[in-house]
């Protein structure tokens, strides 16, 4: 892919007067009705104003032959293979570009095939309800007298681009490259709500991180993945637009379009820098969250250890008093059996001896446990 794409070859050139309009090559047999979901709109323009709205691709091809100085703007949404092959046969589109437009899942790029430019763009929109970014893919074929857009996904809204261009006939009269720049502008402007939505998500994530929300790690990871996709959509655009700007003087780009493209380049550069900042911020937030989670786990483990220690101390105290109380219970139990042949039962000093024995045993156990800090 080259950074600079000559555009002089596909800038509108005045046609020499002729008795009869030139005959374009016949298209492959296909009449794609306008009510098919893939054909969004087909229109013919002359001097910046719409002159026809054909109801099929075949009718579009036929009427375009009647306007040698006109321009066709055809919008498709997920077209079929036969539809694209029909367009390729009519406008001499390169087979590699057609294959890319059919398969989609391409990275943003700008390629030149003869007199036709093939542009791939990644549009984005922010879904507030789901708090996620939805990415679409747009393929644009730009020739001397035609613009073909192939959209995969809901974004961008090219009907708004068409309406805005039709309200500015002077700009639309500049030809297909004016339409290309309007599409670029719409895609880049669509990034602004996404940037604001992501910024709001990051602010909420920061609050959740310091609030101790355990589910915030998953949200950080998912938003980081979306930022990777966002970078893939915006970074290549910077080089593409600067490459076009470098060829202004060489290819004689209209002054109005030069200002238009410079403005788009400024916006996409700003957006790309914001996205890079988002990725860095999310990485730092993830690191902080991991640190906070570790600290919280350490605090919980410390609390569990302290609770276990306190329980152990209580168990030692209970066990010590149980042992002390067990000694007199044992002596009393033995002398309470009342057998006839127990010499201490009829001994004068038997009772004092039993009491003294209980006191000595209990005192000894108390002293032992106290020295071991069990009491």
Give the tens place of pLDDT for each residue, 50-109: 998 888 888 888 888 888 888 999 998 888 888 888 888 888 899 999 998 888 788 898
Candidates 122, 111, 124; CA nearest to 193 is: 124
In the prediction, which pLDDT does 362 show? 85
Backbone CA torsion sign across 233, 203, 269, 171: positive
In the prediction, which pLDDT does 22 show? 42
In the prediction, which pLDDT does 341 show? 67
Model confidence over 5-15: pLDDT tens digits? Answer: 333 333 333 34
**Pairing verdict, β 71-77 and 146-152:** parallel
Per-domain boundaries in the chain:
8-294, 312-371
Contact 114/94 with Cβ under 8 angstroms?
yes
Contact 103/173 with Cβ under 8 angstroms?
no
CA distance 150 to 304: 62
Q: For the chain, list residues with pLDDT below 70.
A: 1-37, 39, 247-252, 338-341, 344-345
Q: CB atoms < 10 A from the CB of 67, how many?
A: 17
Strands (E), 78-202: 109-113, 116-127, 132-142, 146-152
pTM: 0.69
In the prediction, which pLDDT does 323 show? 82
Which SS3 state, helix, strand or coil, does residue 132 take? strand
In the prediction, which pLDDT does 138 show? 92
In the prediction, which pLDDT does 360 show? 86
For the structural domain made of 8-294, what CATH number should be given?
3.30.460.20
In the prediction, which pLDDT does 247 show? 67
- Locus of tokens 């996409």: 268
Contact 357/329 with Cβ under 8 angstroms?
no
- Locus of tokens 């323009």: 45
CA distance 53 to 143: 19
């Amino acid at each position: 892919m080259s950074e600079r794409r000559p555009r002089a070859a596909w800038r509108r050139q005045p046609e020499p007067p002729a008795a009869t309009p030139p005959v374009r090559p016949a298209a492959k047999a296909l009449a794609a009705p306008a009510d098919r979901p893939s054909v969004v709109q087909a229109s013919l323009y002359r001097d910046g104003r719409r002159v026809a709205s054909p109801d099929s691709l075949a009718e579009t091809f036929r009427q375009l032959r009647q306007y040698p100085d006109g321009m066709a703007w055809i919008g498709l949404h997920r077209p079929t293979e036969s539809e694209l092959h029909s367009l390729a046969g009519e406008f001499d589109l390169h087979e590699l570009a057609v294959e890319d437009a059919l398969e989609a899942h391409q990275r943003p790029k700008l390629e030149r095939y003869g007199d036709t430019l093939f542009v791939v763009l990644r549009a984005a929109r922010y879904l507030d309800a789901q708090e996620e970014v939805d990415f679409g893919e747009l393929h644009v074929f730009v020739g001397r007298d035609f613009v073909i857009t192939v959209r995969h996904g809901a974004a961008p809204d090219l009907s708004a681009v068409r309406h805005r261009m039709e309200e500015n006939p002077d700009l639309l009269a500049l030809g297909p490259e004016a339409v290309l720049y309007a599409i670029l502008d719409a895609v880049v402007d669509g990034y602004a709500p996404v940037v604001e939505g992501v910024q709001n998500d990051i602010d909420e994530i920061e609050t959740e991180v310091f609030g101790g929300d355990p589910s915030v790690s998953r949200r950080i990871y998912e938003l980081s993945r979306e930022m990777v996709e966002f970078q893939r959509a915006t970074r290549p655009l910077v080089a593409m637009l600067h490459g076009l700007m470098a060829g202004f003087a060489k290819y004689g780009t209209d002054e109005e379009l030069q200002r238009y493209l410079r403005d788009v380049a400024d916006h996409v550069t700003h957006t790309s820098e914001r996205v890079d900042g988002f990725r860095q911020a999310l990485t730092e937030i993830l690191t902080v969250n991991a640190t906070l989670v570790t600290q919280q786990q350490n605090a919980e483990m410390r609390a569990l250890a302290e609770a276990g220690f306190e329980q152990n101390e209580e168990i030692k105290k209970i066990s010590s008093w149980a042992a002390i109380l067990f000694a007199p219970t044992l002596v009393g139990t033995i002398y309470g059996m009342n057998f006839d042949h127990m010499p201490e039962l009829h001994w004068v000093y038997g009772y004092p001896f039993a009491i003294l024995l209980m006191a000595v045993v209990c005192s000894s156990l108390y002293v032992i446990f106290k020295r071991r800090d069990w009491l």
